[in-house]
Amino acid sequence: MEIKTYKRGRVNHALIVFVGLIILAGSVITYLFVLHGIYGKFKFTSLIPDSKVIRTVLNGGEPKVAILSSRYTENMLPQGSSWLNDNINTWKKFLGSSKSKFDVISDESIEKGKIFDYKILVLPGSRSLSDLEISQIKKYIDNGGSVFATSGTASYSQNGKWRGWEFFSEVFGLRFSKEIATDEITKIHTLRGGLAITANIPTGYPLKVATWDHPMSVEVLDPRTTQVSFWYNYRLEDGLVREEIKKSAGIVYGTYGKGRFVWMGFEINSVIGVQDDYIYFDRLFRNSINWLNNGPAAYIKEWPNGYDAAAVISPIISDDSYYIRNLLDVLGSEKVKATFFVDPFEAEQNQSLIQDLTNYGEIASLVDLGYLSAVNDTINHLNDYKTQFTKLKGARETLESASGSKVIGCYPYYGLFDHNSELALINAGYKYIMTDSLTDRSVPKIIIRGENRLLSMTKTARDDYEVIRDFDLIQPEFQFYTYQEDVDRVLFERGMYIMKMHPEYQCKPENIIVVKQIIDDLKKKNFWITTASEIHNWFSKRNYIEVSIDKRGESRVVVTVSNPGHEIVNQSVIQIDLNENADDVSLSTEIISTIPASFEHPKGSKTIKLFISNLKSGESRTYYVDYDKTSV
């Protein structure tokens, strides 16, 4: 049998290498496309782990925090005092809840320069520091470190001798104003809205702070420092509102060299009050840590269409409505609407006027739900539920009959309401109530009763009873200045200005010009001038919106906006704080079918406004924000 042999073909090594290189190149390109899809813009050098990345991995992926337990400060305290230790334990609790890893260090650690590997240095009540500590802390923050401090930092030497405010002024850019007196057990501390560290906290929220530690009030001197809050209470304290707010900062944040800081004029365990106080302070704390760690933040702006604040003009129509037509002329010329709170008896007596009012805004109820004791004005004498319900239902029916329009709002005669009022209002078909509360925040609050909701709007400014009747300001220029102080305060807070007025005072011919001046001022300052029902419509939708942000790589953030509510949300603005200067910003979507959004970004700035329209019930949208970092 003949055996055939086959000659083996020669292996083409060059071809194999060539094909292999093509496959490798394709894999690399695919890998880079995947990386770009996840992280956006990136540099090849960022793929190579450096010492910083290695340290981060070894530390569990969390930036490290150092808490100073200052022996120098402890030596100043009365023997046996646990004040400093209690403060440090509170810091441990808050840092632990925010999942931040921390070490407790000594004065000597700072003096020896053993702080430069920490991202954040906490100085809790560290009033007494050595000169060497101060030098090292300045060097630390100037080189890019972050400091979270409370009270009079470094105002005393290591020997307990008064040093002054040199460190305080140089590093934080502040000037000491005064200590808060302890004649009040607690002090209201008002938080501003529209800032990265007050994100998702109600604008103008009145945080309650105990005064036992003598909290500090300061004034911001340097443009690199931003005022976050103020101690001044315009309702109870004298003084010029603008100046008093400026001099009564209690929380600030800013930069020093390459680093940054947050300073609070009180110890964090001085925050007391109801559950909301602790919830919102915890949020403030977490936002502060995030900002100090250069993390991005995103939150929905308080008002639609990019407005900085809101305003409602609310005349009270009771037994003296003679001069109200002077106001109607102003509203018509200025093309703005008002919310008229009308006594149902007045509506029955003057139905033609009530119908005219509907051409200049909306009608709401003015109802007597009870009164304050003439002997002790701290005791409420409100009617029982049945009586309140009957009054409210009857008032709504009367007003709707007289005006031919739907009535959903109420103002109690004496600005008072209780739990019975809330149930009676809901059951009588009302959607909002406007009150004269002295301690509430400067934006509306949603009251939930079972499956029902009621919006509470608080009086946020002095009305004409106070300005004209009580202060006896009969000259229009003085009236305007007084109202404008409140306008500027509300704008500073980013809240809602309520201009309550009575025809027999502000609507008189000699005073009505002031209303026009205030409306013009509101327009110039980007206020949303609207009706109370529009405020209700906005807040009933806005409060359902959820916003989250995630950092991806060096130059991309991912923002997700969701609407778990029951209605379409339109014209909302998401504020994005990148926490670093940016240029060449671009916006893309995770899913091709996602409705695109528009945005505004001032060249080189840290903030972006993302405009969201027609966000449907149950809809969620994810946007990729890519940018180039800049040193501008």
Three-state SS for 346-407 is HHHHCHHHHHHHHHHEEEEEEECCEEECCCCCCCEEECCHHHHHHHHHHHHHHHHHHHCCCC
pLDDT tens-digit series, residues 8-42: 556 666 767 776 677 766 665 654 544 455 555 65
pLDDT at 54: 53
Q: Which residue has the tokens 């319900």?
A: 389
Phi-psi label, residue 102: left if phi above 0, alpha if psi -120 to 50, beta otherwise: beta
Answer whether residue 58 shows pLDDT above 80: no
Q: Name the helix (H) or strand (E) containing 26.
A: helix 13-39
d(CA 241, CA 369): 33
pLDDT at 439: 55
pLDDT at 542: 85
| Strand 409-412 with 102-105, pairing | unpaired
Answer whether residue 3 shows pLDDT above 60: no
pLDDT tens-digit series, residues 299-325: 998 899 889 999 999 999 988 888 999
Helices 83-97 and 275-292 cross at an angle (nearest 10°) of: 80
Looking at the chain, the whole-number percentage of residues with pLDDT higher than 70 is 89
Say how many Å lie between the first and final Cα of the chain, rounded.
89
* Least confidently predicted of 141-155, 323-337, 370-384: 370-384
d(CA 124, CA 149): 6
DSSP-derived secondary structure for 324-350:
HHHHHHHHHHHT--EEEEE-HHHHHH-
Q: How many residues does the chain have?
A: 632
Find out whether 244 and 217 touch, Cβ atoms under 8 Å. no
CA 423 to chain CA mean position, Å = 30
Amino acid at 397: E
The pair of three-digit structure tokens given for residue 558, joined into one six-digit string: 């991912």
pLDDT at 186: 87
Q: Mean pLDDT, to the nearest integer, of 122-130?
A: 95
Answer whether residue 68 shows pLDDT above 50: yes
Output the CA torsion sign for 526, 529, 530, 536.
Answer: positive
pLDDT at 385: 94
Answer whether residue 57 shows pLDDT above 80: no
CB burial of residue 497 (10 Å; 0-12, 13-18, 19+) = buried
DSSP-derived secondary structure for 405-470:
S---EEEETTS---HHHHHHHHHTT--EEEE--SSS-SS-EEEEETTEEEEEEE--S--HIIIIII
What's the pLDDT band for 283 if we cut at 50, 70, 90?
very high
pLDDT at 108: 96
pLDDT at 245: 94
Residues 6+ apart with CB under 8 A from 151: 125, 126, 127, 213, 215, 216, 264, 265, 266, 267
Answer whether residue 280 shows pLDDT above 90: yes
pLDDT at 246: 95
pLDDT at 500: 95
* Least confidently predicted of 86-95, 199-208, 232-241, 449-458: 232-241
Answer whether residue 335 shows pLDDT above 60: yes
Residues 462, 284, 458: CA angle, nearest 5 degrees: 20
The pairs formed by 388-391 with CB atoms below 8 angstroms and a separation of 24 or more are 388/420, 388/421, 388/424, 389/423, 389/424, 389/427, 389/428, 391/367
Q: Rounded to two decimals, what is the model's pTM?
A: 0.85
pLDDT at 310: 97
pLDDT at 229: 96
Residue 506's CB is within 10 A of a number of other CB atoms, namely 25
Q: Mean pLDDT, to the nearest integer, of 125-154?
A: 95
Rg (CA), the chain: 30
Mean pLDDT of the residues in the chain: 88
d(CA 208, CA 197): 18
Looking at the chain, the whole-number percentage of residues with pLDDT higher than 90 is 66
The pair of three-digit structure tokens given for residue 142, joined into one six-digit string: 């100037």
Closest CA to 226 of 203, 265, 197: 197
Strand order across the beta sheet in which 120-123 lies: 102-105, 65-68, 120-123, 146-150, 259-264, 251-256, 225-227
pLDDT at 374: 45
What separation in angstroms does the CA of 113 have from each of 107, 117, 445, 450?
10, 10, 48, 57
Indicate the DSSP class of residue 260. Answer: E
Q: Mean pLDDT, to the nearest integer, of 484-496?
A: 95
- Cite the beta strand spans of 201-322 per DSSP E: 206-210, 216-220, 225-227, 229-230, 251-256, 259-264, 297-300, 309-317
Strand order across the beta sheet in which 598-600 lies: 297-300, 572-577, 607-612, 598-600
Higher pLDDT, 163 or 27: 163
* Least confidently predicted of 240-244, 335-339, 504-508: 240-244
Closest CA to 134 of 111, 108, 165: 111
pLDDT at 25: 64
d(CA 425, CA 420): 9
pLDDT at 69: 95
Answer whether residue 340 shows pLDDT above 90: yes
pLDDT at 285: 95
Phi-psi label, residue 406: left if phi above 0, alpha if psi -120 to 50, beta otherwise: beta
pLDDT tens-digit series, residues 177-214: 999 888 888 899 999 998 999 999 989 999 999 998 89
d(CA 525, CA 308): 8
pLDDT tens-digit series, residues 374-411: 444 455 688 999 999 999 999 999 999 999 999 999 99
Q: Which residue has the tokens 């302890």?
A: 182
Closest CA to 626 of 532, 544, 551, 564: 551
pLDDT at 155: 94
Q: Mean pLDDT, to the nearest integer, of 227-246?
A: 90
pLDDT at 35: 47
Q: Which of 94-108, 505-519, 607-621 has the highest mean pLDDT?
A: 505-519
What's the pLDDT band for 565 if we cut at 50, 70, 90?
confident
pLDDT at 7: 53
pLDDT at 16: 72
Query: Three-class SS of residue 583?
Result: strand
